[in-house]
Amino acid sequence: MRLAPRILDADRKLLVEHARPLFESVRDCRFFVTGGTGFFGCWLLEALTAACDAFAPDLSVTVLTRSPEAFRARAPLLAGHPAVRLVAGDVRDFVFPAEGYPFVIHAAFDSSREPSPEETRSTIIEGTARCLEFARRAETRRFLFVSSGAVYGRQPADVPRRSEEVIGGSWPRTAYGAAKGEGERLAFEAADHGGPAAIVARGFAFVGPRLRLDGHFAIGNFIRDAISGGPIRVAGDGSPVRSYLYAADLAIWLLTVLFRGAPGTAYNVGSEDAVTVAELARIVAEAIAPDARVEIAKAAKGMLPDRYVPSTERARKGLGLRQTVDLAEAIRRTAAWHRVPVDRVPLP
């Protein structure tokens, strides 16, 4: 487990700059967050604690986690921030805190591992139902359900960018995608029956500090290979098409969707700048280790490539969101963070 150093000053400045206008009309800055110790959740905490330090001293955030001790050991700067309170519990049966929370962000699911389909369904669906019941009792005003582009199923190769169309059509979905779709339905249904205003953020692919370099994400593996000097190994033929939004932008987008998103609406969260996996490997090499070789394991089969790229028109036009950090710079910042020696991490 790698101890997490402080995020880059450029990222903290970016978070503060974009968070400040979101909080202008917010009078009660109490947040309850599930999944706050994962990649998405940690970046939400980075944004919220940066806002607290810069302009919102009364902000507080309660984070539900299965292991507060493990999070304190891994991310002492976030866990030890005065605005952050950790409570232990499983998202499916946690004890409800007594306080009210105007804002609930439900992002609980560990995408860094691959649980069974049964555990996936249980964690997402039962956890969402539990969080919605808590939000109702906590008199929550706005409930953000962090979903996934996986709800759409496989993206047709002739669809350049996936828009927020009706989900669950003829394309088969994974257990994860199906469960996220059901979670969305539960959130919207609860809102229709007197629950908090529900908004959905469908995340695609991301890169940034805190991304694991030894997981199942190709971009993380490429950055790891580049940091070690190469070669950068592409396991397949390099034809799949992906796009990547930087983590600081991700946090800004999620908070914007929470505060300004239209209730009952789903927004794609991601980048529209598509690259093949082979192109991605070369971009990583150029950004981090220009002399590193790129090795592609298999020859291309000439088939239409697998795609996973969102249309963000709804977020751009409706909420004014945009990508502020391009892919090459996102890769450089991610590598720079992973190169920080852990013995230089300042403790609270």
**Residues 150-176 pLDDT 10s:** 999 989 888 999 999 866 555 668 999
Say how far apart CA 321 and CA 272 lie, in whole Å: 12
> For residue 290, with 0-12 CB atoms within 10 Å meaning exposed, 13-18 middle and 19 or more buried, which class applies?
exposed
- pLDDT computed for residue 305 by the predictor: 81
Least confident stretch, 7-16, 112-121, 243-252: 112-121
- pLDDT computed for residue 2 by the predictor: 58
> For residue 58, with 0-12 CB atoms within 10 Å meaning exposed, 13-18 middle and 19 or more buried, which class applies?
exposed
Residue 110 vs residue 192, higher pLDDT: 192
Amino acid (one-letter) located at 325 = V
Peptide bond into 68 cis (omega under 30): no
* Domains of the chain, residue spans: 9-207+245-271+309-324
Which 3 state secondary structure label does DSSP give 268? strand
Fold classification of 9-207+245-271+309-324 (topology level):
Rossmann fold (3.40.50)
Q: What is the DSSP letter of 238?
A: S
pLDDT category of residue 332 using cuts at 50, 70 and 90: very high
**Residues 114-135 pLDDT 10s:** 778 899 999 999 999 999 999 9
pLDDT category of residue 301 using cuts at 50, 70 and 90: confident
- pLDDT computed for residue 337 by the predictor: 95
- pLDDT computed for residue 42 by the predictor: 96
Percent share of the chain, pLDDT over 90: 83
- pLDDT computed for residue 345 by the predictor: 42
- pLDDT computed for residue 341 by the predictor: 63
